Structure 1
Amino acid sequence: MTDRRGARLLRPEVSATRATFLELFFDLVFVFALTRVSVRLIDTAGASVVELVAEIGRTGVLFLALWLLWSITTWVTSRYEPERGVIQFVVVGSMFAAMVMAVALPGAFEDRALPFVLGYLAAMIGRPLIVAAALHRHPRRSVPLRLAAWAAAGAVPWLAGAFAPEELRLPLWVLALAVDGTGLLLGWPLPRLGPARASGWLIAGEHLADRYQQIFLISLGETILVIGVTYSGEAFTADRAGAFAAAFVTTALLWRIYFHRAGHLLAEALRMARSAGRLGSSVGATHLAIVVGVLATGVGYELVIQHPYDRIDPVWLAFVVGGPAIFLIARARFEYEIFGRVSWSRWGGLAALLLLAPALTRGSPMVALVAVAAVLAAVATADTWRSRGRAAEVPASPLLHGGEPGGDFHRAP
């Protein structure tokens, strides 16, 4: 018999699909956290290629830890009723943990390793244990216990890295992320219990879509913050004013390209999906890449606004051109997930960026940013032209019909 006490924690079918005010409050921490990620990368300006690659690796580890915390919290509030007191407590606790991680992030590979790790582990181990206790004897109780067990296993290399010499920290934390990532991919399997893959979870798909759209907007908000803070801290010259305007236009184009058709239909696609968990898992990985592309683009903005007509350091193109390129690749995958096809404008824009990159090494940062904006404008224009006079499309994803039915919110696991 299903435990009624635990069943009250699950999302009912009539639950609101929009994010709660508490979840939006939770997201405010990630505006700050993403700026800390950018700060680490911006500080590599003038570094050699080897130094840049090493710093991207270190910053990538820290960012992925933040992403896992945000992502699993999002799945928790899509699976359980966010208006319940225990779930609100879990969200607030995760928010504080993320704040600790964000504050420690700029020095996480130096003197703030332990606070970063303790914040992460407190959320990743404590959160599922609290949810499991609240579920009482409900069959779904085994899922958060799986998460806690795998997080405890990953805690060993996380803590070892925090106490180890700096040169050993990166490989140990990569191992820790590999444990956490393997658990996520395999469904946190345990002996005799087997896996419980997130792709098979019964969730509120429209709520999950809302959350992914919001994390994209948060990443855009971080770039707006970078543009404003950087420009306000520099002399108001015509050169920098032009770079400021070009950066803002580029951000607006990223917004336009994301939401044109596919971005608007994400909620409908998840609502129509036979298994919302399967499609949600796929678009979750896609949004990770989208956010990475936007963050890298934001780092490029700061470099351009500070040095609009200096001789460009070829390393800077990893951000000025590489960020939008990553975004277009991820956006192409996103389009396939929603419609089962990819518009030629995505590949055309990506090809244009790659072909322009060698020539841009001979110019200035401002020229590179304007060229990127022109390519993105061409992609956005092609999208508008393609849909002009046509009936609105409906989701036709190859992922819509696979997996188990997702309408019964009370079914295990």
Structure 2
Amino acid sequence: MAARGAELLRPPASSGRATFLELFFDLAFVVALTRVSQRFASLGDDTGWALVSGFGRTLLLFLALWLIWSHTAWITSRYEPEQPIIQAVVVGTMFAGLIMAVTLPRAMEERALPFVAAYLMVMVVRPLVIAAALRGHPRRQVPLRLAAWASVSAPLWLAGALGPDRLRLPLWAAALAVDYLAWALGWPLPWLGAAKVRQWQIAGTHLADRHQQMFLIALGESILVIGVVFSGRDYSPIRAVAFAVAFTTSALLWRIYFHRAGLLLTDTLDRAAMPARLGAASEWTHLLLVLSVLVTSVGYELVIDDPFGRPQPCWLLFVVGGPLLFLVARMRLEYEIFGRVSRSRIIGLAVLLLATPVSAHGVPMVGLIVVAAALALVALLDALRSRGRPLEVPASPIGGTAPDVRDREA
């Protein structure tokens, strides 16, 4: 009986690259990330509690989307994506993600129920389908755990969708906390214990691919914002400058991410003795990286729309806060790959922090230029440090190195 359902598991000879189906799946999340950016941008005139509350609501919706995407990435790293049942699961998840995306702009208002219905279809029904397909295989317990924990949070999600509007945010925040806590703890159940993600057998190369692709999707969304906002406004030389600086900033984010650590993520997970442990850490890091790019893209929109507008807390949050979060997350990624943090990122972070008080009293355009200059400094220091040096061998303190790799390197 234990062998039944084994055909769903990824064989050792399976390709580690992401499939075309997964790239197709990501299209739904292009729409979703665009909707998240639009919700963030709608906070442009808010201040005080309204800004904090609006940011928190949008962040909650983003975290719900991220949970759907990340669970799918782990499924296709753990199971063979060429199997028809796994393909059906991915396509079904894509449809649910698209429903969440189109309802997201008003998910905290009149479209709460369809948003939650799509979310629960993925969180509750999808693992039951996988468990049924695995039949008697020992790994069947894992999707059953996921379904059990999702059933615990489901009443909170539904109560928030069907109840009074004023209770929606606290109820959904509690539900999301349950879902993330379950993920962090490994969905423990009485008498069965936990099945922590870091102990799973996965295709590390595939998971790295998926994380890199999601980061690129977020960058692509920022480019889309730059183009749409600039093309939709009256042309002026100053807006053209803002457009150019925003594009340069996105290019610098790409350069800084892929310089060494981001480029070697695939190799590191491939070499890791415990790829799932490193993959779990990278999951949280890329959550922060994707969020930072989304927040930064909202800053682009605000600056291109009104380069010399009146300073407001919201634009400082987006124009400077996004790049600050990016550098912090990038420092975390570097530690995961090499066990260290480069001085260039620390210097860039310090420059942005020191420039924040000045930027708070200046116009948005000045703030964006300061951000681009700080990121350019980081990229320049990275280039100077690595000039003439070969790529370093990853030395992850989290994932370790597989014994055969250590022997080969020695």
Give a deviation string over 1:335-362, Cα, whole Å, max 9, x none: 0000000001111111111110111122
Task: Tell me how many residue pairs correspond in the alignment.
Answer: 405
Q: Distance in 2 between matches of 1:288 and 1:406?
A: 31
Give a deviation string over 1:299-351, Cα, whole Å, max 9, x none: 00000000012222233110000000000000000000000000011111111
Q: In the superposition, relative to structure 1, how do residues 389 and 148 fare at CA in structure 2: closer, same or farther (>3 Å)?
A: same
Q: Distance in 2 between matches of 1:405 and 1:211?
A: 25
1:6 is aligned to 5
Alpha-carbon offset, residue 127 of structure 1 = 1.0
Structure number with the bigger relative contact order (C-alpha 8 A, sep ≥ 6) is 1
Q: Distance in 2 between matches of 1:229 and 1:201?
A: 42
2:211 is aligned to 212
Q: Distance in 1 between matches of 2:399 and 2:127?
A: 29
2:303 is aligned to 304
Residue 251 of structure 2 corresponds to residue 267 of structure 1: no
1:30 is aligned to 29
Q: Percent identity?
A: 61
Q: Distance in 1 between matches of 2:399 and 2:16?
A: 19
Asked whether the 8 Å contact 1:94–1:123 carries over to 2, the reply is: yes
1:321 is aligned to 320
1:99 is aligned to 98
CA RMSD of aligned residues (A): 1.4
1:20 is aligned to 19
Q: Distance in 1 between matches of 2:63 and 2:38?
A: 16
Q: Matched residue of 1:82: which SS?
A: coil
Asked whether the 8 Å contact 1:345–1:382 carries over to 2, the reply is: yes
Q: Distance in 2 between matches of 1:234 and 1:126?
A: 45
Q: Distance in 2 between matches of 1:383 and 1:304?
A: 28
Residue 293 of structure 2 corresponds to residue 294 of structure 1: yes
5+ long unaligned stretches in structure 2: 406-410
TM-score with structure 1 setting the length: 0.96
1:78 is aligned to 77
Alpha-carbon offset, residue 191 of structure 1 = 1.2
Q: Matched residue of 1:8: which SS?
A: helix
1:176 is aligned to 175
Residue 140 of structure 2 corresponds to residue 141 of structure 1: yes
Asked whether the 8 Å contact 1:203–1:406 carries over to 2, the reply is: no
1:411 is aligned to none
Give a deviation string over 1:240-276, Cα, whole Å, max 9, x none: 1011110000000000000000011001110111111
Alpha-carbon offset, residue 406 of structure 1 = 12
5+ long unaligned stretches in structure 1: 408-413
Asked whether the 8 Å contact 2:43–2:314 carries over to 1, the reply is: no
TM-score with structure 2 setting the length: 0.97
Q: In the superposition, relative to structure 1, how do residues 137 and 406 fare at CA in structure 2: closer, same or farther (>3 Å)?
A: farther
1:189 is aligned to 188
Q: Distance in 1 between matches of 2:390 and 2:257?
A: 19
Q: How does 1:264-413 map to 2 (within 5 A)?
A: 264-401=263-400
Q: Distance in 1 between matches of 2:400 and 2:256?
A: 26
Q: How does 1:51-62 map to 2 (within 5 A)?
A: 51-62=50-61
Asked whether the 8 Å contact 2:43–2:55 carries over to 1, the reply is: no
Alpha-carbon offset, residue 405 of structure 1 = 9.2
